[in-house]
Every structure is written in C-alpha cells, then in structure tokens.
C-alpha cells in the first residue's frame, strides 16, 4: 500500500519466513544460541545449495527468510533433517518433498562463496523487549530515536561513516512480540523499568559484514559468520538489512570473534 517513490528501493523478490523450532535433540554440550544454534543444520546446507537467505534474530526467537522461488530447493535440502510444515488457515500442515518436486532441478556446484570484509565498531549494544501494553509510554522516544537522532560524522575523505561509533537501532514487532536493539547510550534515554532484557543484562558488540551493499543474489553471507562462531560455541544475534548484515556477539567474546573471522578470511584467500 506504500505509494511509489523515487526514495524507496524494493527488492524484486517475494520472501517466505522459516521459523525453526527445536525438538530437543541437540547434544547436551550445545550452548550456542541465535544464528549459531542453527548454523550447521540450516544455514550451512542452504548456502551449499546456493540459497540466499535473510536472517532476523529477535528477543524471542530467530527467523530465516528465503525467496519464494527457492522454496523447492529449501524443502529438498532440509527435509532429511527437519519435519517441515506450512501454515494453512492457521493450521500447520506437513509438507513433503513430493509436494514441490515438480520442476525441481538439483543445483550445480559452484565456486566457494566470496568472503566479505567485516568491521567491528566500538559501540556497545543492548538486546531488549517491551510489553506491548507499555509501548505507548515510550512511543515518543522511539520516534525521536528512529527519525531524529543524529548519525555519526560522515568522513568525506573515505565517503563512509566513522565505524568507531555506528548508529544502529532495530525495532521489530512480530505476532505481538517486540524486539529492540539499541546502543547502551541510547538505552539511558528510556525508562529502565519498561525495557526488559536478560537477567545478566549483558552487553553486545557488533560485527558488520560487507564493504558495500550486499544485494540479495549471493548466498553464504550468513554462513560466513555463523559457521566459525558455531564451531567455537559462541552465541550470535543476527540481523540482515537491505545493505549490510550485522552480527551481535557478547561483549566479552568480541576479541575471539574477530580472531576467528580473520583466520577464516586468510584461509579463504
């Protein structure tokens, strides 16, 4: 319903949401959460079959978006590991590979995916939620942060933002559940009794993927981050955006994360 505008870009694909629900079969030692929890079972297999994904972590769970035209490949890829259901009229109906096999072509192997540069600003972030009935109490502050807060200085020499400090604010409302990611300084502007976070109140650091807008045709971008972090059992909160991808990791683990990703970059050359 949004009116056409020269200021708005729209991706040319329609996307479907995959919600991955655990069935409790993970080994007891598996402690990673977020995108790394499904790195081996979902992210890596889809990347190997050349399926591009958008990843959206929320306070409550994680969602993977895949292009509608890739659904046959997705189902064929994941059916051996997962029970797959589709939602019809509010009911979950089992899906089998045979349901989407018409016209399915097994993808041809291709070269290893490109490894994109990663950057880690010094900004510290919070992952929060808020009860829907208290949202009106912070609505004015949300609008101010979303539309009127100042961005970091623009570096005219490099034509990019100073990544020592990055502006990043994410607000998602999915089926009534609200998730917010904001930097620690911005959080101080909100009433502390309305914003809910984990009992440990941990802070997160960001790894931003991509030296230029990534687009949607390339696969393996999420896997570039998720696989090495999963191998090291490091949790990650992942948000794909129109231009870049962002992984949030616990602050105390940022040095190890940077080292792991640098090693992957070097081994991929």
The DSSP line for 15-81 is EEEEE----S-S-TT----BGGGGIIIIIHHHHHTT--EEEEE-SS-EEEEEEGGGHHHHHHHHTTT
Check: CB of residue 256 under 8 Å from CB of residue 240.
no
Tens of pLDDT along 168-215? 999 999 888 999 999 999 999 999 889 988 766 789 999 988 766 666
> What is the reported pLDDT for 32?
57
Convert the pLDDT of each residue in 109-140 to its tens digit.
555 566 777 888 899 999 999 999 999 999 99
pTM given for the model: 0.80
Report the pLDDT value the prediction gives residue 35, as an integer from 0 to 100: 85
Burial class (CB in 10 A: 0-12, 13-18, 19+), 51: buried
pLDDT at residue 268 is higher than 80: no
> What pLDDT, on the 0 to 100 scale, is given for residue 261?
85
C-alpha–C-alpha distance, residues 69 and 11, integer Å = 14
SS3 content of the chain, % helix, strand, coil (to 5): 30, 25, 45
Is 106's pLDDT higher than 90? no
156 compared with 259, residue with greater pLDDT: 259
């Amino acid at each position: 319903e949004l009116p056409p505008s020269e200021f708005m870009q729209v991706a040319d694909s329609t996307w479907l949401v995959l919600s991955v629900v655990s069935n409790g079969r993970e080994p007891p030692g598996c402690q990673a959460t977020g995108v790394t929890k499904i790195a081996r079972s979902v992210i890596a297999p889809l990347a190997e079959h050349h399926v591009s994904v958008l990843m959206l972590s929320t306070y409550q769970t994680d969602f993977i978006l895949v292009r509608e035209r890739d659904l046959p490949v997705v189902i064929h890829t994941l059916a051996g590991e997962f029970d797959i259901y589709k939602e019809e009229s509010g009911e979950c109906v089992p899906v089998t590979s045979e349901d989407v096999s018409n016209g399915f072509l097994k993808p041809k192997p291709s070269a290893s995916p490109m490894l994109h540069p990663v950057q880690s600003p010094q900004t510290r972030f919070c992952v929060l939620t808020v009860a829907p009935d208290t949202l009106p109490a912070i609505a004015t502050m949300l609008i101010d942060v979303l539309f009127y807060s100042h961005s970091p200085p623009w570096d005219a020499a490099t034509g990019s933002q100073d990544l020592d400090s990055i502006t990043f604010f994410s607000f998602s409302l999915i089926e009534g559940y609200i998730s917010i990611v904001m930097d620690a300084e911005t959080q101080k502007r909100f009433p502390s009794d309305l914003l809910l976070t984990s009992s440990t109140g941990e802070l997160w650091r960001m790894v931003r993927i991509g030296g230029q807008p990534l687009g949607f045709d390339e696969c393996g971008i999420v896997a570039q981050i998720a696989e090495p972090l999963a191998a090291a059992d490091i949790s990650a909160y992942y948000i794909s955006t129109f231009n870049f991808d962002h992984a949030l990791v616990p602050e105390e683990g940022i040095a190890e994360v940077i080292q792991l990703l640098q090693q992957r970059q070097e081994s991929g050359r």
